[in-house]
Homo-oligomer: A and B are copies of this chain.
Amino acid sequence: MRYFAELRYNGESYCGWQRQNDAPTVQQTIEKALSTLLREDITTVGAGRTDTGVNAAYYVLHFDTTEPLPDCNWLVSKLNALLPPDIAFFSVQAVSDEAHARFDAVEREYRYRIELHKNPFVRSSWYYHAPLDVEQMNRAAALLLNYEDFTSFAKLNSNNKTNICHITKAEWRRENDTLWFTIRANRFLRNMVRSIVGTLVDVGRGRYTPDDFERIVAARDLSLSSGGAPAQGLFLWDVTYPDTIFVRKAK
């Protein structure tokens, strides 16, 4: 039987999502807990990889069991008790055997958090001390929707066959002392959001104009974009599936 699970995790203490031999990752922490509770070796397939230190406010994975689970709510409650405080499950539900947490996702949303003042109670954020012109950052961000090749924000030597992404939203919003960047697309390249955020922050502090930013996007040249923004401010925020595959229970 195949199951989809909804969860969230704080990436601060993990070397990203994906299983590694010699470093703690979210995937192997979860697989260990699932295997213990279900008394068989469980392998998970996640909606996407997140890098070291990156968070997921919402995440979906699938896994297979040899026998149907008698009680999915029991499993959620046991997982939450067994897993450390930085990983929390919302739901586990049966799906068709062909449903796939990665390939069936049609849209993903990331958010990036910047704190403009030092805040002792917020760790998952980039504390950025200098003034930022949010209007200019939004003018530049809006230009992303006119392009589809994001080679300028891709990671060198990545295995992508194509750097084409369809971005449907890219905007900054200020809430008191917090700046949130929201970006939605059908897919994202590795390192893409942090590289876009880093370059947009360079617009906000006056190093680039929105026109400069557009030239960087259009050039399809990785060497022009700014350094990536720090991992701890980045959240995978949402993953969307067709209703025929899976219906969200969380939130």
Contact = CB atoms under 8 A, between A and B. Distances in A.
A88 B8 contact: no
Contact of A118 (B80, B117, B120, B124): B80
Contacts of A88: 117-120
Copies of this chain in the oligomer: 2
Interface of A: 8-10, 55, 57, 80, 85-88, 117-121, 123-124, 127
B127 A10 contact: no
Contacts of A57: 121
A-B pairs, 8 with minimum CB distance: A88-B118, A10-B120, A86-B120, A80-B118, A88-B120, A9-B120, A10-B121, A8-B120
21 contacts: A8-B120, A8-B121, A9-B120, A10-B120, A10-B121, A55-B120, A55-B121, A57-B121, A80-B118, A85-B118, A85-B120, A85-B123, A85-B127, A86-B120, A87-B120, A88-B117, A88-B118, A88-B119, A88-B120, A121-B124, A123-B123
Residue from A10, A87, A124 having most chain B Cβ neighbours under 10 A = A10
Contacts of A119: 88
A233 B86 CA distance: 17
Contacts of A123: 85, 123
A55 B121 CA distance: 9
A127 B117 CA distance: 27
A121 B166 CA distance: 30
A71 to B, nearest CB: 18
A117 to B, nearest CB: 7
A69 B127 CA distance: 27
